[in-house]
Chains A and B, each alone.
Chain A
């Protein structure tokens, strides 16, 4: 908040400190990074000490569960804050306008790959899906490439990746990244090959072409850092509660539920229909990446197969009914059905391959 009151004298130099990000953004980042590493590496010891100080029997289930909670919750929140800050800064270089200019007139194949990658770094909110879609098509970005972007942007996002990394390890996070990109690239490419341009709503097709020029916005490093702070407030402020609940669910399972407890529906021994069932359940459930982490963790802990759970997760974020209702304003029904069908098939394939390999 800006205050209009005259500034009080500042004996301890706090205001000089609070102006550090503005005056010397790089120094601020360096200091913050060092501090972050110091705190992060002492979390494990601090959690153990905290539990030891409680009147609990050491090695008991409640003690194990609490230690998990005290360690994991700050760990995930710290990782999330750091990644969201860095992504917020990176986002300032990849505005939707610039991404559009980069993709305009690109060929299929390489264009689909670029679009999916740009989907990770371009800020995107699903309520902007329609203006973005039209803006891309209008500027001559091929339809299939636009779809690659539109599929990758919500599915492969930094919050999902951080949470997967923190809770399930880097291998699964990496796998999710690669598979998410593959689904976006392939599905966009397939839609492009089907030449569905005729199934855009008429008013969209008849709109005048625009040039994909970039409005250059003057930003210095302090402005970019400020944008990073803004996204931390915005994103971490919105999802921290989900994260804590997710970790608490995990802690509950950690302490109490036996690891080999099997979920009938999604277990590795279950039948061929478990992957399609997961996708079908996932589509009408709309959730952001953070909100479903508790569910995913609970499912995995109860012995659900990883491929099935990943398919569930992808279908929940990448295919949502509300988004399709919004897209219906610009796409004819047939194109929406193709879009949903192609993406769902890609996700199914991911689920099956995973379950077969692991």
Chain B
């Protein structure tokens, strides 16, 4: 199961990012473990310069702005 973390201080874009990942995962039928990280130190330790940032299995795959649908779908592809 993929572990996906959305990092952000709780602004509108972060919530939207969470909702989109959840929706696309459900549409594709991919089980994920989705977590929201609001702790500033943890956000900074990820190396992201801008939020919302996304970690998939601990790897930083996105930083800054709401990610596009295609990009999210790419993370969920089982390889």
List residues of A whose CB falls within 8 A of some B CB: 1-2, 95-97, 100, 123-125, 127-128, 130-132, 134-136, 203, 207, 210, 226, 230, 234, 326, 329-330
Contacts and interface: CB of A to CB of B under 8 A. Distances in A.
B13 A125 contact: yes
Given A127-B8, A130-B43, A131-B48, 8 more contacts: A96-B64, A123-B64, A127-B11, A127-B51, A131-B53, A135-B44, A135-B47, A326-B9
Contacts of B65: 123, 125, 230, 234
A210 B41 contact: no
A100 B49 contact: yes
Contact of A131 (B11, B43, B66, B68): B43
B40 interface: yes
A128 B64 contact: yes
Contact of B50 (A1, A131, A329): A131
A125 B49 contact: no
A114 B44 CA distance: 24
Interface string B40-68: 11011001111101000000000111101
Contact of A132 (B8, B13, B49): B49
Given A123-B64, A326-B9, A128 B51 contact: yes
B38 to A, nearest CB: 11
Nearest to A230: B68
A2 B27 CA distance: 12
A169 to B, nearest CB: 32
A331 to B, nearest CB: 12
Contacts of B8: 127
B69 interface: yes
Nearest to B44: A134
Contact of A127 (B9, B49, B63, B66): B9
B40 A128 contact: no
Contact of B9 (A130, A135, A234): A130
B46 to A, nearest CB: 9
A127 B64 contact: no
Q: Which 4 A-B pairs have the closest CB atoms?
A: A127-B11, A96-B49, A128-B50, A135-B49
A131 B69 contact: no
